């Protein structure tokens, strides 16, 4: 990681304004902080490198930070509040006023079931719908997380976030072509068959008329 980027991410300590008692509930900012902080140890080195490079390239082109943090537990903090608290605790994006999203991922273990949440920093808060972030966590990340596919979960999650920020996001498995009403595949096949049959009848009538 470049010195400039390291300084950007690491110097957020200087802008933390929370009380010491609040701060102690969250992990300290790692000395080797990066876009991918695998505190749960669920990613291989190669997987972390791939994700880190992709997110660094995204930051270089957009000046938007997407940070991933994996954890093994919530240290008594309400899971629904963890990502929002951690992004403040670490001051992600605060040094130069960048927009940032923090994805927190917890695998299923003795401390509880798998969990995923995404929260924006203050600079990003007005630019993306929090309900959309929740849907991305539920639709894109959680199914893979429940299957133990941690790398795929965060990879798909980051791709979905990029699409959401670009205004092009569509949920996984959703076709770009929408069908009217509750039309099922059998109905579609029957309609196509009817169209083809009608076309043949029209051709035969035209041929006879000549």
What global pTM score does this model have?
0.73
Tell me 15's DSSP state.
G
Question: Tokens 């994700």 appear where?
Answer: 51
pLDDT, one tens digit per residue, over 84-102 is 999 999 999 988 889 999 9
- How many domains does the chain fold into? 2
Task: Judge contact between 126 and 23, C-beta under 8 A.
Answer: no
Task: Judge contact between 50 and 56, C-beta under 8 A.
Answer: no
Domain hosting residue 207, numbered range: 179-210
pLDDT, one tens digit per residue, over 145-188 is 999 999 999 999 999 999 999 999 998 765 433 344 444 455 55
Question: Both 99 and 198 in a single domain?
Answer: no
Dihedral pair phi/psi, residue 93, rounded to 5°: 85, -5
pLDDT band at 207 (very low <50, low <70, confident <90, very high): low
Q: Are strands 64-70 and 99-106 parallel, antiparallel or unpaired?
A: parallel
100: CATH:
3.10.310.50
Question: Both 78 and 148 in a single domain?
Answer: yes
Question: Both 42 and 84 in a single domain?
Answer: yes
Q: Is residue 171 part of a domain?
A: no
């Amino acid at each position: 990681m470049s010195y400039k980027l390291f300084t950007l991410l690491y110097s957020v300590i200087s802008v933390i304004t929370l009380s010491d008692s609040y701060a102690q509930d969250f992990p300290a900012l790692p000395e080797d902080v990066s876009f991918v902080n695998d505190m749960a140890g669920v990613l291989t080195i190669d997987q972390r490198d791939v994700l880190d490079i992709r997110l660094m390239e995204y930051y270089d082109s957009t000046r938007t930070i997407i940070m991933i943090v994996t954890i093994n537990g919530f240290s008594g903090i309400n899971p629904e509040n963890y990502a929002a608290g951690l992004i403040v605790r670490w001051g992600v994006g605060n040094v130069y006023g960048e927009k940032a999203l923090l994805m927190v991922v917890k695998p299923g273990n003795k401390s509880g079931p798998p969990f995923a949440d995404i929260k924006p920093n203050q600079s990003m808060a007005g630019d993306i719908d929090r309900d959309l972030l929740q849907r991305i966590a539920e639709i894109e990340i959680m199914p893979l997380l429940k299957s133990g596919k941690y790398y795929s979960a965060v990879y798909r999650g980051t791709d979905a976030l990029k699409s959401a920020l670009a205004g092009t996001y569509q949920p996984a498995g959703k076709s770009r072509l929408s069908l009217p009403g509750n039309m099922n595949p059998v109905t579609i096949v029957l309609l196509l068959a009817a169209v083809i049959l009608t076309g043949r009848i029209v051709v035969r009538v035209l041929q006879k008329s000549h």
